[in-house]
Amino acid sequence: MFDDLQRIAVVGMFDGVHSGHRYLLDQLRLQAAERSLKPLVITFTNHPLSVIAPDKAPRLLTLPLEKAALIRREGFLGDEILLLPFDEKLRSTSAAGFLGMLRGRFDCAALLMGFNNRFGHDAPGDFASYKQLAANAGIELIQARELPAREGVSSSEIRRLIAAGEVADAAALLGRPYTLTGTVVRGKALGRTLGFPTANLHTPSTLILPAPGVYAATATIAPPLFPSIVASRQASSKAELSYPAMVNIGSRPTVDDPGAPLSVEAHIIGLPEGTTLYDCRLTLSFVDRLRSERRFASLEALRAQLLLDRAAALEALSGKV
């Protein structure tokens, strides 16, 4: 019976699903309950700037499916989330046309509009203009409340902090650590010769990377799990396993030539010796930045620093894994 209800929608990029987004989603849930409507979160699979001005499109905090999972974590069902590609057709749609699409295609009786949200290629300049267009389409337009003390809470500010390596400050705005998820690929195995084997993470190029440096992070390994890991942690019933880790992001100036591409390498602390993670999905949750990346005079000097980094990472992650 619930599926027969009309909908109340909210539309936005929702990159990162940060505290400001969650405040808006809370309002959507309340407005839906008050009006006996079904909530619908419409979010884009790609940043609008990737179509409008590709050279200005930012790297993202979340992939589409990660974003949907975070929205579901806020209490929304799968059919209450719509991942919509932003394409040339949508770019050329007017505000009136977009509202007409919401009414005709998705049976929206109401739209919750963020306090600084704009849509349509003609983007009317004020809420009153949008409200009249919505009324013409048979949609009730509701102005969302602004997040109290919202200064600095934006996806753009969080991206700036991450790009600067300030992952702890970014986590405060996100409401959780920034995460990178990718596939473990083969590297040069140089870390193993130093006593610090690393998992080399291949991440989508659309995601933003923290600034080069060494970080304390938690490493979560997704199934399939190797029997040696499961047995060592007595966790055969768990879908995922988490470990403390220290992560290096950079061009490895001590061992690679100048201009080498950036790499993301995680030394996972406590992983059973000899464990191979190739092709596993690995998620790194960044807790704190330990130091900047730098070149060492010798491999032995690098190894001595890595011992200090491991101790610092364990201290930063105490009680978090």
CB 235 within 8 A of CB 241: yes
Give the span between the Cα atoms of 246 and 33, in whole angstroms.
45
- Going by the DSSP 8-state scheme, the letter that residue 216 receives in this structure is E
Distances (CA, A) of 265 to 111, 179, 284, 298: 44, 14, 10, 20
Task: State yes or no: pLDDT of 22 exceeds 50.
Answer: yes
How many percent of the chain have pLDDT more than 70? 89
Structure confidence at residue 262 as a pLDDT band (50, 70, 90): confident
For the chain, the farthest-separated pair of C-alpha atoms sits apart, in whole angstroms, at: 72
Residue-level pLDDT at 268: 95
**Average pLDDT, rounded, for the chain:** 89
Q: How far apart, in whole angstroms, are the C-alpha atoms of residue 288 and residue 236? A: 30
Alpha carbons 227 and 37: distance in angstroms, whole number: 48
Q: What's the confidence (pLDDT) of residue 60?
A: 97
Residue-level pLDDT at 233: 52
Q: Is the pLDDT of residue 217 over 80?
A: yes
Collect all residues with Cβ–Cβ distance below 8 Å to 84 and sequence separation of at least 6.
42, 43, 44, 45, 90
C-alpha–C-alpha distance, residues 306 and 304, integer Å: 5
For the segment 106-126, what is each residue's pLDDT rounded down to a tens digit? 999 999 998 778 899 898 888
- What was the pLDDT predicted at 2? 41
At residue 264, the 3 state secondary structure works out as strand
Count of Cβ atoms closer than 10 Å to residue 265 Cβ: 21
As separate numbers, helices (DSSP H) first and strands (DSSP E) second, the chain gives 11, 11
pLDDT band at residue 23 under the 50/70/90 scheme? very high
| pLDDT category of residue 1 using cuts at 50, 70 and 90 | very low
Extract the runs of DSSP E, i.e. beta strands, from the chain: 7-12, 38-44, 81-84, 108-113, 140-143, 178-185, 199-202, 213-221, 241-250, 263-268, 281-291
**8 Å CB contact between 146 and 115:** yes
């995922």: which residue's tokens? 240
Q: Which two tokens stand for residue 150?
A: 């919202």
CA distances in angstroms from 159 to 1, 7, 14, listed in the order given: 42, 32, 13
Backbone angles phi, psi at 178, to 5 degrees: -70, 140
pLDDT at position 232 is 52
292 class by beta-carbon count within 10 Å (0-12 exposed, 13-18 middle, 19+ buried): exposed
Q: What is the mean pLDDT of residues 230-259?
A: 71
Which strands, in side-by-side order, build the sheet including 81-84? 81-84, 38-44, 7-12, 108-113, 140-143
Q: Could you tell me the pLDDT band of residue 238, with boundaries at 50, 70 and 90?
A: low
Q: What is the mean pLDDT of residues 16-23?
A: 94
Give the per-residue pLDDT at 116: 77
Is the pTM higher than 0.85? The answer reads yes
What's the pLDDT score for residue 252? 76
> How confident is the model over 256-285, as a mean pLDDT?
86
